[in-house]
Amino acid sequence: MNKLNHLLTELELLKKEGRYRPLTVWDSAADTWMELGCRRILQLSSNNYLGLTNHPDMKKAAIEAIEEYGVGSGSVRTITGTLRIHEVLEQELAAFKGTEAALVFQSGFTTNQGILGSMLGQEDIVISDELNHASIIDGIRLTKANRAIFAHKNLDQLEEHLKASGSYRSRVVVTDGVFSMDGDIAPLPEIVELAERYDAIVYVDDAHASGVLGRNGKGSADHFNLHGRVHIQVGTLSKAIGAVGGYMAGSQLLKDFLIHKARPFLFSTSQPPAVAATCLAAIRVLQSSSDRMERLWSNTEYFRGKVRSLGFDTGQSETPIIPIIVGTPEKTMQFSDRLLQEGIFAQGIVYPTVALDKGRVRLIITANHTIEDLDFALDRLELAGKQFGLL
């Protein structure tokens, strides 16, 4: 093991900086209240926005799919791994998103890697918001394309890059629809307008907008009424949809290309059938009623209003992702630990994921939180916030 001593050095450094975190092991299902050992903890950090992880329709669909297909798909999509349930899921996803086609991957992460890693060559340029998700950053690292970064939501900088990119074969502007650490929304109408002016492709990662923004959770393009003007939409099936997986919604041409070129699609086994069936059931639940989304948004407005009136700094949050900015990594993790003692799980997010002085606990409100749950959280946050000098 001496050969791995450099890993020990890196872990020691993380410990010194207060960034070393053992995994938290929960003893019950992903829900608003979760068991941690013998304690019940109010969950304020789950991406289960609509409370679908335990929805009876989805559980039933999973069990039926296991009975019909077994537990695994047997191979990658291009061999035995495309089962009828994958095909139906893709058809319904495309119909839901209003696109020509959809293609499902194993996760949102591999979707971004698969598309960005295969679609671009050295004749192209990708122009990316500085706060885009790690899977976009890694996807861009996989390409030979040229790259430019614009400051977060800075349209002037984006335009500068577009102006300078006339000689490339294609220009792709890539942005998160909802930014995962701040909960703010990309200025998509302005991005689309600029892209149209400079003949660029628009690529939106809607991981945190799927099931959250737009009619019945169709995402940010629908939210802004930009139908047909966003060329590539990425969604995740791992957050509001409640299971795991990711997808591209866009043209049939891109789908055909990805089937032949996207490496995670070609070289990694497809979603188990029970997962695909669960995702399909979730899309049907979303389409059948908007009650959950309405609860999600009324809970969010209620909670964010109260947190702000207490005096916390919640940054630019416009969605159910509500950060409370704390400061240094050490103070942030201490605040998160303090909240856990008070019965709340609020994940600390620190450098390098966010700036050194902008450590935060990232709260995520869901449709299944009750007003009593939210009031309990507010009470504990106020107490801990005063102790930490945040109020």
Q: Which residues bind ligand PMP (CB under 6 A)?
A: 107-109, 112, 133, 135, 176, 180, 205, 207-208, 236, 238, 246
Determine the residue with CB nearest ligand PMP.
108
Ramachandran region of residue 16, left (φ > 0), alpha (ψ -120 to 50) or beta? alpha
Active site residue 288: no
Active site residue 180: yes
107 versus 270: smaller Cβ distance to ligand PMP: 107
99 versus 238: smaller Cβ distance to ligand PMP: 238
Structure tokens, 382: 């106020």
111 versus 314: smaller Cβ distance to ligand PMP: 111
Cα–Cα distance for residue pair 365/302, rounded to 1 Å: 10
Catalytic residue among 97, 208, 255, 358: 208
Phi, psi of 142 (to 5 degrees): -80, -10
* Position 12, amino acid: E
137 versus 378: smaller Cβ distance to ligand PMP: 137
* CB 218, min distance to ligand PMP, A: 17
* CB 321, min distance to ligand PMP, A: 9
Cα–Cα distance for residue pair 292/216, rounded to 1 Å: 9
Say how many Å lie between the first and final Cα of the chain, rounded: 48
Catalytic residue among 223, 239, 255, 331: 239
Cα–Cα distance for residue pair 275/65, rounded to 1 Å: 9
* CB 179, min distance to ligand PMP, A: 8
SS3 label, residue 172: strand
Active site residue 165: no
* CB 136, min distance to ligand PMP, A: 7
What secondary structure does DSSP assign to 91-120, as a single string?
HHHHHHHT-SEEEEES-HHHHHHHHHHHH-
* CB 244, min distance to ligand PMP, A: 6
93 versus 381: smaller Cβ distance to ligand PMP: 93
What secondary structure does DSSP assign to 115-168, as a single string?
HHHHH--TT-EEEEETT--HHHHHHHHTS-SEEEEE-TT-HHHHHHHHHTTTTS
Residues belonging to the active site: 180, 208, 239
